[in-house]
Amino acid sequence: MAFRFHQEDDYGDMADINVTPLVDVMLVLLIIFMVTAPLLTQGLTVALPTAEGKSFELASNNPAKIQVTSTGAVYLDGTPAGSTNLEATLGPMLRSRRVKRALLEADKSVPYGRVVAVLDVMNRAGVEQLGMVTQPQEHDGRPRR
């Protein structure tokens, strides 16, 4: 007669890991990082100039050339448009020529606010597409001519 000894215990065949506490801890950490991350970002405070108008698109096909020199003088296709009160000088010139596309060449020493003022006048005068001309740079760091 064969006797079978079968022993049942509470700890046999438990090979699964209970991940519920792990998920709870990870969710708490996620919430902590989500709350603290915006507090860690630091930015610069910049007083941006104001301007009326809509956004510009890239210019193409026979654009007018608007140049801003280092002294702040503005030229439209080589014709002086003045340096002060651009709304009374540059604006009418752009409207009379019905300029819709333009290229802007601004000297790198011109203040940002001056460039924005020219852009604002151009936008209010009806210029729909704008390209900003830059100097290409060589691989060794010097500008190309």
* Predicted confidence (pLDDT) per residue in 46-93, tens digit: 444 445 544 444 434 678 888 888 888 888 888 888 778 888 888 888
Mapped onto helix, strand or coil, the DSSP state of residue 122 is helix
Q: Indicate whether this model's pTM tops 0.85.
A: no
In the block, residue with structure tokens 């729909």:
128
Helix (H) or strand (E) holding 124: helix 112-124
Residue 145: band (very low, low, confident or very high) from pLDDT cuts 50, 70, 90? low
Chain centroid offset of residue 54 CA: 15
Residue 38 has pLDDT above 70, yes or no: yes
Residue 16: band (very low, low, confident or very high) from pLDDT cuts 50, 70, 90? confident
What is the per-residue pLDDT for 61?
Answer: 65
Residue 140 has pLDDT above 80, yes or no: no
What is the per-residue pLDDT for 69?
Answer: 85
CATH topology of domain 64-132: Nucleotidyltransferase; domain 5 (3.30.420)
Domains of the chain, residue spans: 64-132
What is the per-residue pLDDT for 26?
Answer: 95
